[in-house]
Amino acid sequence: MRLLIVGANGMLGHDVLRAGERAGHELVAVDLPEIDITDPVAVRELLERLRGEEGSLDGVLNCAAWTDVDGAESKRELAHAVNADGAGNLARAAAAIGVPLLHISTDYVFDGTPPLDADGRPRPYVESDPTGPRSVYGSTKLEGERQVLGACSEHTVVRTAWLYGVDGPNFVATMLRLAGERDAVQVVDDQVGSPTWSGHLAPAVLGLLERRVRGLVHLTGAGEVSWNGFAREIFRQAEVSCRVQAATSEQMARPAPRPAWSALESERDDVLPMPPWQDGLAGYLAARAGHSLSGDS
């Protein structure tokens, strides 16, 4: 497949390029300044040019996003331009030339109130559960989903959560850094979600494109844990000695509210589950060690 990867310089974009190369795909990688997804004319011209070149174009994968969750609260228009209208620009341009697009979304489209199973216990959100974002970031991402899915029935939206990888700042790297600076860290224990290693997510989303899975999909590391429990597992797997103290979201308040519950799971028969989040952490730590040995960032 010949695929256009938008946002290729980001954390997930890097892993998509690695996974795509392993799978034997022909990849066209773009990011700022080569493409500005908030410019509909530039987006349309780029896709039309690629579609007209020898080899055609088989799909677009949009990893580009405004990811500054707290900054979005004060920069609503900028976040909306990228996460909502930018996603829509790509989706409409791809639809116009008959090319499927896969767009990455987030758990922040939910309000954080856990849905309950038949026994009254919290269960992960599935694709058919109602949304209700509580932050500007979540609202802009939800509008992006609507624009993408409204542009073409052949497009795909993948919601993921708690994403981390070797090519960007992330929670695991922060915890390991703090463990080298202090004896204890404070981490919230009242937010639960599904940690997702970009090294697992990248081949999974490419698989969706390969198998022509369309519509709304949830893809995260399997299972759920609190940020506090995640930190403890990070230190256990990394064999680091650092105490993890409990804190509440109120104590660690941020400008944008975080969902108290954001565990995700797919209810679809055509979506292959990803490995447990603990396996993703092990994979990340191994990849991180490999990058350190090779001198990569």
Give me the active site residues, please.
137
Strand-pair category, 59-62 with 26-30: unpaired
Q: 40-46: long-range contacts at Cβ-Cβ below 8 A with a sequence spacing of 24 or more? A: 40/89, 40/92, 40/93, 43/89, 43/90, 43/93, 44/89, 44/93, 44/96, 46/93
Q: Tell me which amino acid residue 213 is.
A: V
Residue 102 in tokens: 């896969």
Q: What distance in Å separates the CA atoms of residue 255 and residue 74, rounded to the nearest whole number?
A: 9
Q: What distance in Å separates the CA atoms of residue 87 and residue 58, rounded to the nearest whole number?
A: 18
Q: What distance in Å separates the CA atoms of residue 262 and residue 289, rounded to the nearest whole number?
A: 29
Residue 176 in tokens: 């390991």
DSSP codes, 41-98:
HHHHHHHHHHHHSTT---EEEE------HHHHTT-HHHHHIIIIIIHHHHHHHHHHTT
Cβ(131)–Cβ(249) below 8 Å: no
Residue 12 in tokens: 């997930």
Q: Tell me which amino acid residue 261 is.
A: W
